[in-house]
Copies of this chain bind each other. A is one copy, B any other.
Amino acid sequence: MVARMHQSAHPSKGRPGRPRSVETDHAILDATRAALVDVGWGGLTMGEVAARAGVAKTTLYRRWANKSELVVDAVAVLFDELELPDRGCLQSDIEGVVLQFGRLLARPETKTALMAVVAESTTDDALRERIRSAIVERQKRLVLLGRSRAQQRGELPPDAGGPEGERAAEHTVGLIFDVIAGAVVHRLLVSAEPVDTGWARQFTTLLLAGLAGLGH
């Protein structure tokens, strides 16, 4: 699930021939992240990644079509660290996920890579889809989980029945997702200021007051 290659949907299901080395996969992805820290997205080259991983350059191209797809997979595994511990109330839950997301985006690998691949994805549909499935969906899961938790606690109204109620709920989740992820990314990468507990609290307060007012 971590490294979804572009040529074979099936892993190595009884396929003849020499199987791909999983250690090589990990070595390449590790080397990619390390190189991102040192030289950033702009200075990253396939040749250097191969050298760091102790692997031939051709081996990289057998698995990833280009730099962007490689970096998406290399960074995507970091998003597995994201979790949503139950802190008892919605405010604390959101503050926690905002801080986690902030810490993740403050790392030099993600900082320099995420915006770059998103920029590249504006002219590459396959890349956009890869980003969506490998990164965006993992984040969105947290929003959905936090929402259903808050509904069970009674902090948020339950989903309205009917098809149009379901559609409205989907829209609202999308909106909240864009607001949370967008604000954190913008503060860290554009405003270049830290996402600390004070900011997380102020932001969460704003968001929750907004959600309360969105109902009617």
Contacts and interface: CB of A to CB of B under 8 A. Distances in A.
Interface of A: 39-43, 108, 111-116, 118-124, 128, 131, 136, 171-172, 174-175, 177-179, 181-187, 189-193, 199, 202-203, 205-214
Contact of A42 (B123, B136, B191): B123
How many copies, total?
2
A63 B42 CA distance: 21
Q: Which of A181, A187, A206 has the most CB of B within 10 A?
A: A206
A178 B118 CA distance: 18
Contacts of A116: 115-116, 119-120
Given A40-B123, A120-B41, A175 B189 contact: no
Nearest to A202: B175
Contacts of A209: 209-214
